[in-house]
Amino acid sequence: MLHRTCIALLLCLSACATTEPGPGTLPAPNPRLANLQRAAQFPWTDDGHCVVREASNEWPVLAERCYHSLDHDRVRFRDVKGTCAVASMDAAVLGVGLCVFVAPEIVVGAVVVIGVVVVAAAIQEGLNAYERSASRARAKPKTQARPSPQEEPAANRQPEPNGSPVGKDGLPPDPPVSLAPQDRQPECAPRRASHRGGNDPHNECADRIPENSFPGWDVLVNGKHFDALQLATRTLWEVKTDNFDTYTDDLQDIVVRSQVPKLQHERTLARACGFDFKIGVRSAEHKAALLKQDPTLKVVIMDWC
């Protein structure tokens, strides 16, 4: 258990040293893609299958679960900042290596790979799938922005058979949004956006949120892709579908310390546009762990998921 204590200490120090990004910060890259890109730098004995299987998790979870699949004969870990040193005994080397490997950011000189790394086959296929998806998105013809149902002249609206209006692009119009003062800022007006990450179970949980105004879509507000929006209460949602109860105590601590700063930042973005912010989780244990870190968060157990 010694190396798990080291990991928790490192993540705690990393969270304390990280400043919360401002509202103008660009959205973070797709977490699954970022994990694949990071893992592609290392040699794996299983062709990267463990990495692809765990890529939708936070990096510390992936790192611990797949650490055994690293080609340890070709990787050397150095605790260049001294945050992972737990003992001078040779038995502690494994703990230091894992502690360095799960760090949220790669420190220069901390991980040394011997020889040339050829990207593992499974990881390369995962990266190729993202590139194909991005290429298809770039190839789609761009359509001009369509005015909202309130702004579009009545003569230009095309009624459906049941009498409800349909946009000229063939998609149902975005639900009407009450224009609070914040919404008059372009970045605060809710817009539909495609689901990100390719995590179908996660997306299904988000789509089933009661009174979700954009089922089947993410919601883009203030530069952030939120998982759902309840227009009636002006509430934006972030969904976490971790199997939290199956994690060890140390791993639960690592995950929560990684999630809470991000959730606080997302809440700041939502509030800046006049929205409330809630977090959906799958277990009472996950809810309690988040609230222990920040009692002001609004956490809901998703009994529909």
- What three-state secondary structure class fits 27? coil
- Determine phi and psi for 50, rounding to 5 degrees: -65, -40
Contact 51, 35 (CB under 8 A): yes
In the sheet that 191-193 helps form, which strands lie side by side, from edge to edge? 191-193, 218-221, 224-226
Range of lowest pLDDT (99-108, 118-127, 165-174) = 165-174
Stated pTM of the model: 0.51
Indicate the residue type of 298: K
* CA atoms of 305 and 295, how far apart (whole Å): 23
The residue ranking higher by pLDDT, 181 or 15, is: 181
Contact 305, 208 (CB under 8 A): yes
Residue with tokens 């993410």: 218
- What three-state secondary structure class fits 101? helix
Q: How confident is the model at residue 296 (pLDDT cuts 50, 70, 90)?
A: very high
List C-alpha distances in Å: 101 to 96, 98, 111. 9, 5, 8
The reported pLDDT for the residue numbered 111 is: 83
Contact 178, 273 (CB under 8 A): no
DSSP-derived letter for residue 234 is: T
The reported pLDDT for the residue numbered 72 is: 87
Mean pLDDT of 2-13: 46
List C-alpha distances in Å: 144 to 168, 225, 226, 262. 10, 21, 23, 33
Residue 141 has pLDDT above 80, yes or no: no
Residue 265 has pLDDT above 90, yes or no: yes
CA nearest neighbour of 32 among 135, 130, 120: 130
Residue 160 has pLDDT above 50, yes or no: no
Per-domain residue ranges for the chain? 2-12+26-137, 177-301
Contact 11, 102 (CB under 8 A): yes
* CA atoms of 267 and 269, how far apart (whole Å): 5
Residue 147 has pLDDT above 80, yes or no: no
Mean pLDDT of 115-141: 78
The reported pLDDT for the residue numbered 242 is: 87
The reported pLDDT for the residue numbered 184 is: 53
The reported pLDDT for the residue numbered 230 is: 93
Contact 292, 252 (CB under 8 A): no
Share of the chain above pLDDT 70, in %: 67
The encoded tokens of residue 206 equal 């988000």
237, β-bridge pairs: 228, 278
Residue 18 has pLDDT above 60, yes or no: no
Mean pLDDT of 73-86: 75
Residue 5 has pLDDT above 60, yes or no: no
List C-alpha distances in Å: 47 to 30, 94, 100, 175, 297. 22, 22, 22, 46, 40
Residue 206 has pLDDT above 80, yes or no: yes
Residue 19 has pLDDT above 60, yes or no: no
The encoded tokens of residue 269 equal 């973005």
The reported pLDDT for the residue numbered 194 is: 86
Residue 261 has pLDDT above 70, yes or no: yes
Mean pLDDT of 276-286: 95
Contact 207, 215 (CB under 8 A): yes
* CA atoms of 151 and 129, how far apart (whole Å): 39
DSSP E strands in 119-243: the ranges are 158-159, 165-166, 191-193, 218-221, 224-226, 228-230, 235-239
Residues 6+ apart with CB under 8 A from 58: 31, 254, 255, 258, 259
Q: How confident is the model at residue 61 (pLDDT cuts 50, 70, 90)?
A: confident
